[in-house]
Chain A
């Protein structure tokens, strides 16, 4: 193969799929600009404030800090999506993971370092087992994953809420939450003076691992081919049930880890509803959808969403352009991408 041809195949393989995403984002900005014009605001000002709010000075670290849980939840959504299945229960797995991490970090009689490691592990195990429960429901009882994952969210959130109102309740606060976790058992700051904690390293490591497995391993091959044609994967000898279980365990473990990182790295206690309030699991699902579950694209989309969200907050504070506009932007981008079946695939 000539060099030119090789470059062309690589472009087609890696850049080609990104074109629709870039197009959709451009259209999204266009639509938001028009809305801004319509209500008498300057689109240029909006864009400038949005970008400044996302990346300028200390705002950059705000974006990075927000990207850590968002990328994590995006990966939790992207792994199943890559195989064409959907985990709608990430919120439940997130809450259980955070709650389990808090319990271990507060009550395990062990040295600080061990407590921290065990707390992180507990978060992953809690999320993974809960997701595995949903997978087992589909495999052995025929309950569709879409339903089981989603419905199992409520008992999980309910259980954690009950615990922090009763036996785990910290009587010193007005909120239904646990006591504060000792400094030694926390995930420390990664860059002093910023909200970026060491959870960044964990999520970055996981993102790299997911991308590597997706691209280079037999497991990743089976995942991708199932997403392209499930019948073919089964015909070809992929053990779908075992795969479903593996997918859900991986997805749930990452969601649980994100819960643990949020509790151990920034909130330092488990407060009822505090993990799910920022709706990382929804933003994560959207980011993963944006890239069709492809991990590199998903991570890029997640970072973009994190930037948009911090930028949106800053824009609202500084020039009183409502943050809702950034949500409109996200929605337009997704809607436009959903149309690509009709628009982009035309010859």
Chain B
């Protein structure tokens, strides 16, 4: 890709970016949120066209008007959110739109044979007849890769491929990536996880503010140098932690069960969070964590069990009652649940404070106090926004996350549920938010932390619970937990 320039209103997303991929290499593309990774990727996959610059593949210049053009030129992509037909089988998903035919009919037998052969050749074991809906996430990803290979992809773009995988699945994926590269396939790995880049890539291109800030050879560099290239300054990755001083139990759930479509998505879960501790829930996304949290918060109905706050029963009570009882909540779904996109930053930041001084006196809002409040939080959390009147729907994911985290931390509530509190946030801000969470803990507040990032759980939690298929399958004190053991339980290895 040569001299790529892409402008959006007010933003220069890609500013003369050059990136060269060599045949058979694994090339990592890194950068903080808003650095221009996504834009560059969508240009390479034909989702967007560049304002300036062009793409050359094996000496010929490409003009990609759509992903169909990209696929025709041997460029494949595995998106973060898989694009599969859940109700169809594996082989049907693979051959879709390129079915081997006999007359007007699809030659199913031949298609299955082709898929089987392709899977064997690339070391991607999969049952061609399985229904996608029944497959675990790691296998679905394998299927996405097969789809691209079936379309003879020479260049494969992987967008944050490990976000949904267990550690074991991650290492399988890395093996696959390496063997694909050895077979001559070029892989562009887009990620923000340093350890993965170090483990699997050959070369690294780092973007910052739409420009290439550094080109590195993996074997000759280290995590510190990459972080410096991403942020422009040095960030300490380790946060000093005080020993914990647990107080009395603040949040307690007993035998909690949540049913959805007749399935127990949360099954007999009991947990306690005391003041002065951070309890981490580890688990691969989609094993009932979101449902557990929403049930704890009163957002979805509880089928059985109880929830109590400070020894007062709040089971089946409204969210309002939970909040009044001293619970605040950083919701995972920041765009749909935790903010109102069409409302200003002020409105979003005062939500929950809008009935009490200084924001409201005797039921009447104080506009000046509202703005001052919003400006204060924007400054403290370094939210990049034009003004407090700007609609939050215009913010990038990381900044929107900061709006949510800022507001919920400002509640200063005895118990905080933090669900993916740093997802999509840049490295510098992650350190800041982690420090804030720890100081909440040190002030004697209890925190229930749900994160798909094991590193985040390991960095913050005092106790770690592992959730698998709706159940708590293990509990560790921080000192007894390590990535390998947790990974085993996350994959459903053993039950307690």
Chain B, 1-56, CB within 8 A of any chain A CB: 9
Chain A contact residue count (CB 8 A cutoff): 26
Cβ of B331 and Cβ of A235 under 8 Å apart? yes
- A237 interfacial by beta-carbon distance below 8 Å: yes
CB atoms of A217 and B299 under 8 A apart: no
Name the A residues within 8 Å of B355 (CB-CB): 218
B133 contacts the other chain (CB 8 A):
no
Known: A235-B329, A238-B320. A218 touches B360 (CB 8 A): yes
User: Quick check: A232 and B324 within 8 Å, CB to CB?
Assistant: no
Q: Which residues of B contact A241 (CB under 8 A)?
A: 318
| Set of chain B residues within 8 Å of A219, measured between Cβ atoms | 363
A341 smallest CB distance to B (angstroms) = 12
Asked if A45 is an interface residue, CB under 8 A from chain B, the answer is no
Q: What's the minimum C-beta distance from B82 to chain A, rounded to whole angstroms? A: 25
Q: Closest CB of chain B to A228's CB: distance in Å?
A: 4
Task: Give the residue among B343, B354, B360 with the most A Cβ atoms within 10 A.
Answer: B354
CB 8 Å contact bits of A1-31 with B (1 = contact, 0 = none): 0000000010011000000000000000000
Chain B residues near A234 (CB-CB < 8 A) = 299, 319
Indicate if A194 sits at the interface (CB-CB under 8 A): no
Check if B336 sits within 8 Å of A231, measured CB to CB: yes
Identify the closest chain B residue to A235 (Cβ). B337
Closest A residue to B407 by CB, please name it. Answer: A236
A232 touches B365 (CB 8 A): no
A218 to B367, CA, bound (A): 11
CA distance A220 to B340 in the complex (A): 16
Which A288-345 residues sit within 8 Å CB-CB of chain B? none
In the complex, what residues of B have CB within 8 A of residue A347's CB? 9
Cross-chain contact A216 with B365 (CB below 8 angstroms): yes
In the complex, A113 has a CB within 8 A of chain B: no
Verify if A239 is at the interface (C-beta below 8 Å from B): yes
Q: Are A235 and B338 in contact (CB under 8 A)?
A: yes
Contacts of B299 in A (CB 8 A): 234-235
Provide the residues of chain B in CB contact with A166, threshold 8 Å: none
Does B351 belong to the interface (CB within 8 Å)? Answer: yes
Chain A residues closer than 8 Å to B9, beta-carbon distance:
347
Closest to A241 in B: B318
| Cβ A221 vs Cβ B347 within 8 A | yes
- In the complex, the answer to whether A217 meets B365 with C-beta atoms within 8 Å is yes
Q: How far is the CA of A225 from the CA of B347 in the complex (A)?
A: 8
- Give bound CA distance, A240 to B299, whole Å: 12
Q: Does B341 contact A (CB under 8 A)?
A: yes
Q: Are A228 and B343 in contact (CB under 8 A)?
A: yes
Q: Which residue of B lies closest to A236 (CB)?
A: B351
Q: Does A222 contact B (CB under 8 A)?
A: yes
Among B340, B350, B360, contact of A228 (Cβ-Cβ < 8 Å): B340
B342's partner among A13, A228, A238, A240 (CB-CB below 8 A) is A228
The answer, yes or no, to whether A229 is at the interface (CB within 8 Å) is yes
Beyond A216-B365, A218-B355, is A232–B339 a contact (Cβ under 8 Å)? yes
Beta-carbon nearest neighbor of B387 in chain A: A9
A-B contact pairs, 7 of them (CB 8 A): A218-B363, A218-B364, A224-B343, A228-B340, A232-B340, A236-B323, A240-B318
Q: Which 7 A-B pairs have the closest CB atoms?
A: A229-B340, A237-B323, A236-B351, A228-B340, A239-B320, A232-B340, A237-B320
